[in-house]
Amino acid sequence: MSETPPHPRPTPGLLLRGVEIFPGWLEPPAQAEMVEDLRAVVAAAPFFQPETRFGRKMSVRMTSAGRYGWVSDRRGYRYERRHPSGVAWPPIPASVLAVWEAITGLDRRPDCCLVNYYAEGAKMGMHQDRDEADFGWPVLSISLGDAARFRIGNIERGGATESVWLNSGDVLVMGGEARLVHHGIDRVRPGSSTLLKGGGRLNLTLRVVD
Ligand code: SIN
Ligand code: FE2
């Protein structure tokens, strides 16, 4: 990608280990609209519970929108053109693409919007997002629903970490020097948001895949 994005970018409210955080980027009405758009995504491509390479069920349920979806099973982590059921992934909603455009300042659109659902008790271990072809493109994340503690480590495995609570409407970018930082979700705080009727947390991550 180009060194400088073609369009101006907003200044993050918080910078933690190079990870940019835009607290409250989406107002509650925009959050509710996005949830409605995601309902259509999930109707076309239902959530599934992936397994790790080692055959352990993940606690997070997932689906995707876009040209590619992210999947995991005993064959490993990878992007696929189709949902495990065989249907094509639905398109990424315009409301979601608009956040990518406004925050990244890029003309290139993401190929994949991974949708993670965290019910009470779900979490995600420390990992890097590294199944994409070109780490020059950022990964952008949108949080909706219950608050979650997001942990940020280092490019190398292990070492000291820091964490930040992500609330509904917060947007985060891992790009540049922070593109390959280890990160994960320690826990979700049940009942901290009324956005999702059944409770829990949705996280969207937008990625350029190839
Ligand atoms: C992820 O790393 O894929 C998800 C991060 C999050 O849920 O905020
Ligand atoms: Fe990730």
Please tell me the distance between residue 44's alpha carbon and the centre of ligand 2 in angstroms. 23
Structure tokens at 31: 């959050």
Q: Is the CB of 167 under 6 A from ligand 1?
A: no
Strand partners, 134: none
Please tell me the distance between residue 139's alpha carbon and the centre of ligand 2 in angstroms. 9
Q: Is the CB of 203 under 6 A from ligand 1?
A: yes
Please tell me the distance between residue 205's alpha carbon and the centre of ligand 1 in angstroms. 7
Residue environment code for 37-73, b if the CB has 16+ CB neighbours within 10 A, otherwise e:
ebeebbeebeeeebeeeeeeebebbbbbbbbbbbbee
Which pLDDT belongs to residue 1? 55
Q: Is the CB of 26 under 6 A from ligand 1?
A: no
Tell me the C-alpha distance between 15 and 207, whole Å: 20
Residue type, 173: V
Q: Where are the domains of the chain?
A: 14-207
Q: Give tens-digit pLDDT for 127-159.
A: 999 999 999 999 999 999 999 999 999 999 999
SS3 of 44, please?
helix
Q: Is the CB of 19 under 6 A from ligand 1?
A: no
Tell me the C-alpha distance between 71 and 4, whole Å: 31
Q: Is the CB of 208 under 6 A from ligand 1?
A: no
Q: Which CATH superfamily is domain 14-207 in?
A: Alpha-ketoglutarate-dependent dioxygenase AlkB-like (2.60.120.590)
- Which has the higher per-residue pLDDT, 111 or 53? 111
pTM of this structure: 0.97
DSSP 36: H
The protein residue with its alpha carbon nearest to ligand 1, atom 6, reads 203
The protein residue with its alpha carbon nearest to ligand 1, atom 7, reads 203
Does the pLDDT at position 2 exceed 80?
no
The CA-CA-CA angle for residues 156, 159, 162, to 5°, reads: 105
Residue 134's contacts (CB-CB under 8 Å, 6 or more residues apart) are 1, 208
Does the pLDDT at position 3 exceed 90?
no
How many residues appear in the chain? 210
